[in-house]
Structure 1
Amino acid sequence: MPTKPRACHSAAKLICRNWLFLFCCSLASTSLTAQEGNVTPFAVKADDNIVIYHNANVLDENGQAFTAKMSVIVTGDKIQALKPANQISANELKSAQVINLSDKYLLPGLIDSHVHLATPPNDLFAKATMRRQAYHGITGIRIMADDLRPITEYARASIAGEIAAPDIYSAALFAGPDFFNDPRTIAANGGIKPGTGPWMQAISDETDLTIAIAKAKGSGAMAIKLYDNLKPELLSKITQAAHQQGMAIWAHGMVFPTEPKDVVAAGVDVISHTCYLAYQASDPKPLTYKNRFPVNAALLQTGDNHLMETLFASMQQQNIYLDATLTVYQQYDQRLAANPQMSPKPHCSLSLAATLTQQAINKGVKIATGTDHIMPRSSAFPALFDELELLAKHTKLSPLAVIQAATLNGAYILKQQDNIGSITAGKLANMLILNADPSADISKLRDQYMTVKRGFMLKPQDMPNITELEMPDEQ
């Protein structure tokens, strides 16, 4: 797990200073522009603006139950206090904007823990995707490797209230040099040679890891994503070096050729895609990401494979979260059903992914809710709602446990648990308000009254429609 950050060596300090100088100059420039009249239609109008969300059923800060007849007092973009509604004084009600939420259900804003928005960059598409997320209760997203040049600007614009969007937390990608002929890396590195930009770096045994990580940090990333073509010893060194600079490590379940047990042993913070972990029980194992093949389902479908038991126990002991992405495997199933002759065949099914996810849950592994999927324009809701419903249907997680995975757990993997993830005084006013109780039926998350993002109110019926220009129909 992350160790206490240490100072960079002198070369890395210079890199840090140079990148941070450029970043701060950019922020200063945009700040001046805002002061000169930048439009911020999605920001609260004053830091001392007080809103009382009154008499609601509020999810407690541990995500265990809704408490009736509670009021949340928001000042500016922060939660100031949470009290029983009958303890709100007449003077408090008189001095605030009051939103009466009798019979409504108030919970933290949701977090999609696996999103790609700029591979390749498409400004209209990205902003439409984020708009749909923000208007439907998603107040945070984890970017899992993209061109961070536009992503960092979206993150700034979201915080400033210039666009309707979740808060954005990004990773830079590290992989071996052979990975960077992948068309996606070419698309995400326009104007430069893939593997040479700070947001997507080709890493070898000769790489100065301290400098490489400092560059990634300077590009706006808060984490390193380990993707492909990294051997166990190098993967472990990257993890240790990143933790020393206060960077999280997010990894695939298998970072080919490094097998899952060695990814776990390195002490990464989050592992994505349940079925990549299934390669631990496969013999042989794929040597590269590009040459993946189906996992050995026969060894895994009963949900008690001893190799997986050992692997999940190790994840639990090290507090490594699992970003299951059941939506990905649902998509595989749908593509295979539409084209039974497709080649290569998907490496895993939804049924097997769910079985393995439940096995991980049984061993105490904490789940995060990522999608790695963007719904077409015709869908009213973002993919996260499918992911939450799949978890509730195909595992033994209760609806409230699924909501906890999408709120508190999402906050922890972002190292933002002090700022988001629960309805707690001092945290950001990121909230989802529902018309119905989701604790017995997870689909009630779709019955939405309002999203509050950093104190700003967004009602789903007010969302501008996504146009065909923004999000063309799939061919």
Structure 2
Amino acid sequence: MGIVVYRDATIFDGTGAAPVGGRSLVVDDDRLTQVVATDQLVVPDGAEVVELVERFVIPGLIDSHQHLATPPDRVQAEAWLRRMVYGGVTAIRDMADDLRQIADLTRACLVGEIPGPDIHYAALVAGPSFFDDPRTWQVSQGETPGTVPWMQAITDETDLVIATALARGTHASALKIYADLSPELVAAVTAEAHRQGVPAWAHLSVFPALPIDVVRAGVDVVSHVTMLAWQTQTQTQAEAAPTYKSKTPIDPATIDPDDPRIGEVLEAMLERGTILDATGSMWESGEVLDGADAAGVARAQGNAELSAALTARAFAAGVPISAGSDYVTAADDPFPALHRELYFLHERCGMPAADVLRSATQIGARAAGAEDDLGTLEPGKLASFVVLDRDPVADLRNLASVWCTVKRGVRHQRGDFVGPENLEQR
């Protein structure tokens, strides 16, 4: 690829600093080598120069919650990945799927065989009772769910050293702790994952382990902000602890975001640096609302309102929030779901645009365990960034003004994007 100079843009670098004008970026192959004031720039001999006067550059966006292969559909997944990278998304966390396909998609995106973001994926562990869930069969076709390295059933008798090593053998970036595990087992799985150098990602409530148990176990990232509500539900001695399937749905209208039990969880997250992958906008997605009856729509709207209130509460408490969507937009939508999640965080949760952008860049990179390479515009990091025609800090909706995405030094011009008519889902 050689050396490319992106000259004279306004830079939002993702570090927390205010945007600065008159800056240039020097890319050598797949790395940023300089972020420098344009009046101090010395253009290397033979470098390509891309003029960015009056344009804006932000770090590549990171979607902290995606599923690309439940069930596997290679054509569909490639279409989603293409839309993501042309929409400014340069990395995602895939939160457990059929890792046989995900591993190959990861390789294909990494080497440039197909256009798409970098993929950081998780291998899943859960209690044995979870593995009659039909999704586990979809991602284990030809094998038995719970007995494969990417989808393991865990009990008190499990050799966690071997289980973690098997998950690592899938080249997974993390272990995802999903359902039907006790607080003690969540803590044991997390400790072994960390001992082997693997991050632990989890649902905020794992059933019977509640949010405070999951956070105190030391997991790195927790998903789904509405699950904070489970901390307010108490069990009598006569009641069995809930499982993923047996839990009684919570009426979102009954939850007070200022409940001190929720506050205790947020304080524990802040103390430990636990990242919240909120996934707030998913409740208003087509995946939830399409085909829903009136009661289902009302419940989804209630959960969206609860998501907004709880996310605002977490942000006010100082909890680091990453931006994860957990759905894909309709085939005729030219932009990926992450854009909607970012608008939700800003417009519904009250987060300032600059903080929302950090959620999708610097904090997203931390959530993916990739902060050494991604999330900020600094020399030595991967050359993964987005060039916009309009200022996203002044108006977050300007994210739709993508001019190009640079991913690992490769430029994807928005004008070359194959439109929605070719994004049809099979």
Query: Which range, TM-score by smaller chain?
Result: over 0.9
The residue number in structure 1 matching 2:35 is 82
The residue number in structure 2 matching 1:199 is 150
Q: Does 337-346 or 121-130 show the bigger shift?
A: 337-346
Identity across aligned pairs (percent)?
Answer: 40
Deviation at residue 94 of structure 1 after TM alignment: 5.3
1:328 and 1:419 map into 2 onto residues whose CA distance is 28
| 1:293 maps to 2:248 | yes
| 1:70 maps to 2:23 | yes
2:296 and 2:424 map into 1 onto residues whose CA distance is 30
Deviations 1:337-373 (A, max 9, x none): 9521449955951111111111111211100000000
The two structures have a TM-score, normalised by structure 2, of: 0.95
| 1:208 maps to 2:159 | yes
Structural RMSD (CA) = 2.1
- Does the CA contact (< 8 Å) of 1:58 and 1:106 recur in 2? yes
2:259 and 2:85 map into 1 onto residues whose CA distance is 40
| 1:416 maps to 2:370 | yes
The residue number in structure 2 matching 1:448 is 402
| 1:426 maps to 2:426 | no
1:342 and 1:185 map into 2 onto residues whose CA distance is 25
Pick the aligned partner of 1:131 from 77, 82, 90.
82
Pick the aligned partner of 1:304 from 252, 258, 272.
258
Deviation at residue 376 of structure 1 after TM alignment: 1.4
1:344 and 1:210 map into 2 onto residues whose CA distance is 45
The residue number in structure 2 matching 1:97 is 48
- Does the CA contact (< 8 Å) of 1:304 and 1:359 recur in 2? yes
The residue number in structure 2 matching 1:108 is 59
The residue number in structure 2 matching 1:20 is none
Q: For residues 72-471 of structure 1, what are the structure 2 equivalents within 5 Å? A: 72-89=25-42, 92=43, 95-284=46-235, 287-301=242-256, 303-331=257-285, 335=289, 339-342=293-296, 349-466=303-420, 470-471=424-425
What is the identity, as a one-letter code, of the residue corresponding to 1:55? D
* CA shift in 2, pair 1:173/1:69, >3 Å: same
Deviations 1:185-236 (A, max 9, x none): 0000011011111000011111100000000000111111111111111111
* CA shift in 2, pair 1:343/1:381, >3 Å: closer
Q: Does 356-365 or 68-77 show the bigger shift?
A: 356-365
2:323 and 2:414 map into 1 onto residues whose CA distance is 22
1:343 and 1:290 map into 2 onto residues whose CA distance is 21
- Does the CA contact (< 8 Å) of 2:65 and 2:95 recur in 1? yes
Q: Secondary structure at the match of 1:290?
A: coil
- Does the CA contact (< 8 Å) of 1:199 and 1:219 recur in 2? yes
* CA shift in 2, pair 1:104/1:469, >3 Å: closer
The two structures have a TM-score, normalised by structure 1, of: 0.85
* CA shift in 2, pair 1:469/1:335, >3 Å: closer
Q: Secondary structure at the match of 1:154?
A: helix
Q: Which runs of 4+ in 1 moved over 6 A?
A: none
- Does the CA contact (< 8 Å) of 2:5 and 2:47 recur in 1? yes
* CA shift in 2, pair 1:346/1:88, >3 Å: closer
Deviations 1:399-445 (A, max 9, x none): 01000000000111122111111110000000100000011211101
Number of residue-to-residue matches in the alignment: 422
- Does the CA contact (< 8 Å) of 2:281 and 2:340 recur in 1? yes
- Does the CA contact (< 8 Å) of 1:281 and 1:299 recur in 2? no
1:317 and 1:403 map into 2 onto residues whose CA distance is 23
Deviations 1:82-101 (A, max 9, x none): 11111123xx2652111000
2:304 and 2:243 map into 1 onto residues whose CA distance is 23
Q: Does 409-418 or 345-354 show the bigger shift?
A: 345-354
- Does the CA contact (< 8 Å) of 2:106 and 2:119 recur in 1? yes
- Does the CA contact (< 8 Å) of 2:66 and 2:327 recur in 1? yes
- Does the CA contact (< 8 Å) of 1:295 and 1:348 recur in 2? no
Residue segments in structure 1 that go unaligned for 5+ positions in a row: 1-43
2:297 and 2:233 map into 1 onto residues whose CA distance is 20
What is the identity, as a one-letter code, of the residue corresponding to 2:134? P
- Does the CA contact (< 8 Å) of 2:14 and 2:58 recur in 1? no
* CA shift in 2, pair 1:308/1:240, >3 Å: same
- Does the CA contact (< 8 Å) of 1:327 and 1:373 recur in 2? no
Deviations 1:253-280 (A, max 9, x none): 1101111111111111101000111110
Q: Secondary structure at the match of 1:289?
A: coil
What is the identity, as a one-letter code, of the residue corresponding to 2:76? F
2:219 and 2:15 map into 1 onto residues whose CA distance is 25
Residue segments in structure 2 that go unaligned for 5+ positions in a row: none
- Does the CA contact (< 8 Å) of 1:399 and 1:442 recur in 2? yes
2:361 and 2:419 map into 1 onto residues whose CA distance is 27
1:350 and 1:399 map into 2 onto residues whose CA distance is 20
